[in-house]
């Protein structure tokens, strides 16, 4: 089922209006490890790696925790606007995957399955109850693998702009689609990407891209039991209409949500609409209250 995302009233997060990424978001995204907008940084040793997490305070609402998983070449930074929007009602965690952001860099670049196992170990280290796992882009591949392999850890799943479309499953094709998306995105996201690529190192970004195009996400999708939302921007060239509809059909229990006007980085440029969609997914119904 497809539905368009709705929006909360403006002003709830004191950020730039929906569909944009302004100076306020840029400052917020680049703040770590300093506290900002209720978010703080901490590190824990997970599978031998000093792993950074950006997190919000527990709002004491009894709502399940939400864990945001970043995409290729990036880190917690670009997901910060979404974390702030969600933190009013949910405990929010945004870990940096191994080698990215402020997490320790391992010697090699992890593939999807190894990132998923590291994230499973991270969940165990935090002793979290079953979470709502939100993966964006490459992070959706990692989230799908974790949900398929560790179903008891995942209460609900959001696959936002999932990669990679079989019709563009090569480095050249994905880079080409990224270039198309780049002109559709808010320009002030560029400094965040530059900082993230510098932290990760270009060779790791390229190696992780290679892992992504060799990962067959479809094999994980059909094994996922958690209620799932496939969420994309209407103008996302990396997860175009045919692919996002195919992803939704492969999942046993899924809805498709398309955010009008948004491109690939929908979680960054329209965090209000994405927050509303996540809260709708987690609204009490039997599949979730029984978990």
pLDDT value, residue 289: 42
What's the average model confidence in pLDDT over 167-188? Answer: 94
Task: Count Cβ atoms below 10 Å from residue 191 Cβ, excluding itself.
Answer: 13
Per-residue model confidence (pLDDT) at position 12: 28
Provide the percentage of residues in the chain whose pLDDT is more than 90: 90
pLDDT of residue 285: 56
Mean pLDDT within 24-28: 93
**Average model confidence (pLDDT) across the chain:** 91
pTM of the entire structure? 0.91
What the block records as the tokens of 115 is 């990132």
pLDDT, tens digit, for every residue of 245-262? 999 999 999 999 999 999
Interval 220-247 mean pLDDT? 97
Following DSSP, what letter does each residue of the chain receive, concatenated?
-EEEPP-PPTTSS-SSPTT---HHHHHHHT-TTS-BTTEEEEEEEETTEEEEEEEEPP-SS-PPPEEEE--TT--GGGGHHHHHHHTTTS-EEEEPPTTSTTSPPPSS---HHHHHHHHHHHHHHHT--SEEEEEETHHHHHHHHHHHH-GGGEEEEEEES-S--GGG-SHHHHHHHHHHHHTTS-GGGHHHHHHHHHHH-HHHHHHHHHHHHT--HHHHHTT--S-EEEEEETT-SSS-HHHHHHHHHHSSSEEEEEETT--TTHHHH-HHHHHHHHHHHHS--HHHHT-
Residue range 117-124: mean pLDDT, rounded: 98
Q: Identify which has the larger pLDDT, 5 or 63.
A: 63
Band of pLDDT at residue 283, cut at 50, 70 and 90: confident
Q: How confident is the model at residue 240 (pLDDT cuts 50, 70, 90)?
A: very high
Burial 62-95 (b: 16+ CB within 10 A, else e): ebbbbbbbbbbbbbbbbbbbbbbbbbbbbbbbbb
- Residues 129-155: what's their mean pLDDT? 98
Q: Is the pLDDT of residue 80 over 50?
A: yes
Q: Per-residue pLDDT for 237 more than 70?
A: yes
State the pLDDT at residue 20.
Answer: 76
- The stretch 88-102 carries a mean pLDDT of 97
pLDDT at residue 37, rounded to an integer: 95
Cα distances (angstroms) measured from residue 106 to each of 50, 71, 137: 10, 17, 22
Instruction: Place 286 in a pLDDT band, splitting at 50, 70 and 90.
Output: very low
% of the chain beyond a pLDDT of 70: 91
Q: pLDDT tens digits for 31-53?
A: 999 999 999 999 999 999 999 99
């Amino acid at each position: 089922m497809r539905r368009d995302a709705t929006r909360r009233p403006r002003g709830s997060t004191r950020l730039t209006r929906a569909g944009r990424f302004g100076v306020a978001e840029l400052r917020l995204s680049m703040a770590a490890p300093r506290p900002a907008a209720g978010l703080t940084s901490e590190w824990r040793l997970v599978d031998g790696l000093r792993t950074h997490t950006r997190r919000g305070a527990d709002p004491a609402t009894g709502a399940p925790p939400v864990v945001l998983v970043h995409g290729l070449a990036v880190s917690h930074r670009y997901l910060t606007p979404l974390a702030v929007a969600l933190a009013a009602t949910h405990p929010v965690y945004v870990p940096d995957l191994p080698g990215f952001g402020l997490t320790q860099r391992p010697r090699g670049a992890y593939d999807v399955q190894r990132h998923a196992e590291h994230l499973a170990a991270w969940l165990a280290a935090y002793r979290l109850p079953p979470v709502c796992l939100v993966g964006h882009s490459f992070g959706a591949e990692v989230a799908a693998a974790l949900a398929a392999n560790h179903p008891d850890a995942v209460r609900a799943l959001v696959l936002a702009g999932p990669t990679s479309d079989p019709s563009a499953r090569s480095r050249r094709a994905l880079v080409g689609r990224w270039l198309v998306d780049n002109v559709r995105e808010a320009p002030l996201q560029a400094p965040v990407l530059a900082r993230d690529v510098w932290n990760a190192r270009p060779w790791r970004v390229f190696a992780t891209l290679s892992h992504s195009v060799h990962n067959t996400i479809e094999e994980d999708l059909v094994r996922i039991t958690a209620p799932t939302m496939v969420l994309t921007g209407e103008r996302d060239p990396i997860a175009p209409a045919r692919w996002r509809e195919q992803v939704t059909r492969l999942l046993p229990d899924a809805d498709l949500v398309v955010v009008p006007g948004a491109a690939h980085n929908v979680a960054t440029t329209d965090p209000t609409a994405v927050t509303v969609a996540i809260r709708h997914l987690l609204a009490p119904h039997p599949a979730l209250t029984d978990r």
